[in-house]
């Protein structure tokens, strides 16, 4: 296939021959790495979120702390990524156009919207798991947290 055309699965081919290139080569022009200051800023935000969550769980018994550590890392990453996705959705909306061959086009849910919807469910699941590790008097009231989450939208 020629440069810039799409195959039937919607992968931008960028000049790869039909049977030739690897998936990495096929996706070469469609994804950009975060680098430089943007990567440093994202890492700082994740670390800030991680520290915030670790403070909430500092009094956990050692065995629960170890279990919580990975959940906290994932929740921190997801929280920052969800904010980025949310900002993108605010700017570009939840749908994008597609072209599926000659004169076939329309709208579909954007990849950012799909990713956001999946990730927010996983994030809320992790937060619930972390909350369940807390002693009863320190647990976050789920209704309050839901309101705080909705207010951030």
Q: Whole-prediction pTM value?
A: 0.68
What is the arithmetic mean of pLDDT over 16-25?
Answer: 42
Over residues 51-68, the pLDDT tens digits come to 999 998 888 888 888 889
Choose the weakest-confidence range: 16-25, 39-48, 72-81.
Answer: 16-25
Higher pLDDT, 1 or 98: 98
Nearest to 52 by CA among 114, 127, 117, 110: 127
Residue 109 pairs in a beta bridge with 95
Residue 16 has pLDDT above 50, yes or no: no
Query: Taking the mean position of all CA atoms in its chain, how far away is CA 103?
Result: 33
Q: Read off the tokens for 119.
A: 């990730």
Over residues 79-128, the pLDDT tens digits come to 999 999 999 999 999 999 988 887 888 999 999 999 999 999 999 999 99
Residue 18 has pLDDT above 60, yes or no: no
What is the arithmetic mean of pLDDT over 27-42?
Answer: 77
Q: What is the pLDDT confidence band of residue 152, given thresholds at 50, 70 and 90?
A: low
Three-state SS for the chain is CCCCCECCCCCECCCCCCCCCCHHHHCCCCCCCCCHHHHHHHHHHHHHHHHHHHHHCCCCCHHHHHHHHHHHHHHHHHHHHHHHHHHHHHHHCCEEEEECCCCCEEEEECHHHHHHHHHHHHHHHHHHHHHHHCCHHHCCCHHHHHHHHHHHC
Q: Round to whole Å and give the CA distance between 109 and 107.
A: 7
- Give the model's pLDDT for residue 66: 86
Q: Round to whole Å and give the CA distance between 106 and 103.
A: 10
**Residue 113 contacts residue 94 (beta carbons within 8 Å):** yes
């Amino acid at each position: 296939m020629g440069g810039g055309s799409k195959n039937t699965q919607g992968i931008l081919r960028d000049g790869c021959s039909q049977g030739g290139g690897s998936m990495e080569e096929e996706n070469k022009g469609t994804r950009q790495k975060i680098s430089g200051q943007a990567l440093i800023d994202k890492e700082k935000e994740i670390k800030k979120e991680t520290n915030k969550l670790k403070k909430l769980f500092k009094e956990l018994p050692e065995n629960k702390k170890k279990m919580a550590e990975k959940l906290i890392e994932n929740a921190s990453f997801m929280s920052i990524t969800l904010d980025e996705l949310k900002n993108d959705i605010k700017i570009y909306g939840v749908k994008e156009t597609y072209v599926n061959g000659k004169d076939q086009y329309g709208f579909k849910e954007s990849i950012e919207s799909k990713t956001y919807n999946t990730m927010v469910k996983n994030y809320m699941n992790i937060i619930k798991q972390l909350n369940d590790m807390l002693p009863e008097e320190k647990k976050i009231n789920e209704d309050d947290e839901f309101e705080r989450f909705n207010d951030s939208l």
